Amino acid sequence: MKNLSSVPADARCIRPGAAWRLFAALITALLLSPWPAVTQPVGNIELIELTIREAHQAMLAGTLTSRELVVAYLDRINAFDKRGPAFNAIIMTNPRALARADELDTALQRTGAPTGPLHGIPFIVKDNYDTWDMPMTGGSASLEGSMPADDAYQVRNIREAGAIVLAKSNLAELAFTETADPEMLIRFTEAIEDLRRAGAIVTGDFLIPNLDSLRRGPGCSCFRYDIDTYLASVPNPPVHCLQEIEEGGRVHVTVMPRVRNFLQFEGTTDTNESCIQACKNEELLREGVRAAMAEYNVEALVYPTWNNPPRLVGDLSNPHGNNSPILSPPTGFPAITVPMGFVWDDTLPAGLQIYGDAWSEPLLIRIAYTYEQATNHRRPPKTAPPLEG
């Protein structure tokens, strides 16, 4: 890409038909790929990099229980999140996780069949999703103890598939959503070549007309309306509106200016003039993306998930380079991220984001899976090694 006015951070495109060739060409490579060495057993299988399929095979064979799996992951959280490397990635673990695991183990013993495609699999929920059994704080002390009445739609569906909410993960406070790091661009260039070697037809630069004006026009800064509406649905909330959050002062000093800016919003998303114009811009952006994809005859766009390694909390001077909000959220079109290597002395992971038209998730998953298996960039972090038995 020539400049940031066309697409996020040096985007490239994959043409139709290439995804199927990618998938087919790698079947042999997938079968020959080496598996990680056994280093932390749970039941009679290896925990590190355990797949859902492997876990279910062991459960059906009677050599692994959901309780054992939950305990193993809770042990790792206990060892690494607040101690050792102290990732501080987890806000809280679910006190009901073990009881739910026991229920699922009992059901499997009784029926001989899993309750769903995610039976007994622990998963972590970002703390801006409602769960009926844990607070939803959005990463802000101002919402401490705020208990939702029910699950968010996505959480409910995952639970109904048999999964167990293990914990709530950290996030930027209240979930607010340049130039690129040279190492990141090197990784991206390598990713393009890896895609080509795997059979993808990758074109060059990709221009979406008027991208900057559509993205940087009047925005819909409706956070005040959104959070006030949300808090009205929470039984006995610790605060009732954004005004009370501002007055309470329990937000990070770097976030408070944004809170005060959001307080200027008036009306609703249907009546606020900026929101009305932003909605029109989003539709124009969707049309522009589709027109450009048709013009260039491509199925997907690829670009670095981030242009720069992560910055510290409170650092507002260094560039963040987050490309994720540029196309997917305003268009509503899907995107998926896979590892594309490491930067900064091989210590920080870099991601490749793959973006497509509405309802193209199956295609994006095929591309992502094929690239992931061709490159094997994913590896367990050295800072969280297997626990000794």
How would residue 203 be classed by pLDDT, with cut points 50, 70 and 90? confident
- What is the rounded CA–CA span in Å between residue 79 and residue 83? 6
Q: What distance, in Å, lies between the first and last C-alpha atoms of the chain?
A: 50
How would residue 209 be classed by pLDDT, with cut points 50, 70 and 90? confident
Mind giving me the DSSP string for 171-237? -SGGG------HHHHHHHHHHHHHHHHTT--B-S----TTHHHHHHSS----HHHHHHHHHHTSSS-
- Whether the pLDDT of residue 236 is over 90: the answer is yes
pLDDT tens, position by position, 175-201: 544 567 889 989 999 999 999 999 999
Q: What is the pLDDT of residue 206?
A: 81
User: Ranked by mean pLDDT, which of 93-107, 264-278, 319-333 comes out on top?
Assistant: 93-107
- Whether the pLDDT of residue 118 is over 90: the answer is yes
Q: What is the pLDDT of residue 366?
A: 96
Nearest partner of 88 among 72, 77, 102, 73, judged by Cα: 77
- What is the rounded CA–CA span in Å between residue 279 and residue 57? 47
Q: Please, which residues have CB within 8 angstroms of residue 285's CB and are 6 or more apart in sequence?
A: 208, 211, 214, 215, 327, 330, 331
- Give the mean model confidence (pLDDT) for residues 7-36: 48
Give percent of the chain above pLDDT 90: 66
Q: What is the pLDDT of residue 38?
A: 43
Of the two residues 25 and 328, the one the predictor is more confident about is 328
Instruction: Choose the weakest-confidence range: 39-53, 192-206, 269-283, 309-323.
Output: 309-323
- Residue type for 109, please? Q
- Give the mean model confidence (pLDDT) for residues 15-37: 44
Mapped onto helix, strand or coil, the DSSP state of residue 127 is coil
Q: What is the pLDDT of residue 11?
A: 67
Kindly provide the b/e burial profile for residues 40-52, where b requires at least 16 CB atoms within 10 angstroms of the residue's own CB: bebbebbbbebee
Instruction: Choose the weakest-confidence range: 129-133, 296-300, 338-342, 379-383.
Output: 379-383
- What is the rounded CA–CA span in Å between residue 286 and residue 269? 19
Residue matched to tokens 């919003």: 265
- Whether the pLDDT of residue 379 is over 80: the answer is yes
Kindly provide the b/e burial profile for residues 74-109, where b requires at least 16 CB atoms within 10 angstroms of the residue's own CB: bebbeebbeeeeeeeebbebbeebbebbeebbebbe
Q: Judge residue 15's burial from the number of C-beta atoms within 10 Å of its C-beta, 0-12 exposed, 13-18 middle, 19 or more buried.
A: middle
Q: What is the pLDDT of residue 172?
A: 73
Is the distance from CB of 79 to CB of 387 less than 8 angstroms? Answer: yes
Q: Element (H or E) spanning 56, and its range?
A: helix 52-61
- Give the mean model confidence (pLDDT) for residues 350-377: 96
Q: What is the pLDDT of residue 175?
A: 54
- Whether the pLDDT of residue 355 is over 80: the answer is yes
Q: What is the pLDDT of residue 213?
A: 78
- Whether the pLDDT of residue 235 is over 50: the answer is yes
CA dist 356 → 83, 294, 301, 383 (Å): 40, 12, 6, 34
pTM for this structure?
0.78
Q: For residue 261, how many C-alpha atoms fall within 13 Å in the half-sphere facing its CB? A: 9
- What is the rounded CA–CA span in Å between residue 91 and residue 100? 20
Is the distance from CB of 55 to CB of 101 less than 8 angstroms? Answer: no
Q: What is the pLDDT of residue 193?
A: 95
- Whether the pLDDT of residue 88 is over 50: the answer is yes
How would residue 32 be classed by pLDDT, with cut points 50, 70 and 90? very low
- What is the rounded CA–CA span in Å between residue 226 and residue 133? 22
Sign of CA dihedral 262, 266, 272, 273: negative
How would residue 275 be classed by pLDDT, with cut points 50, 70 and 90? very high
How would residue 39 be classed by pLDDT, with cut points 50, 70 and 90? confident
Q: What is the pLDDT of residue 13?
A: 73
- What is the rounded CA–CA span in Å between residue 73 and residue 70? 5
Of the two residues 26 and 148, the one the predictor is more confident about is 148
- Whether the pLDDT of residue 296 is over 70: the answer is yes
> What's the mean per-residue pLDDT of the chain?
87
Is the distance from CB of 11 to CB of 303 less than 8 angstroms? Answer: yes
How would residue 308 be classed by pLDDT, with cut points 50, 70 and 90? confident
- Give the mean model confidence (pLDDT) for residues 298-323: 83
Q: What is the pLDDT of residue 194?
A: 96
- Give the mean model confidence (pLDDT) for residues 29-47: 63
- Whether the pLDDT of residue 378 is over 70: the answer is yes
Give 322's DSSP letter. Answer: B
Listed by start position, the domains of the chain span 1-36+177-216+282-381, 221-271
Nearest partner of 255 among 245, 265, 270, judged by Cα: 245
- Give the mean model confidence (pLDDT) for residues 267-271: 94
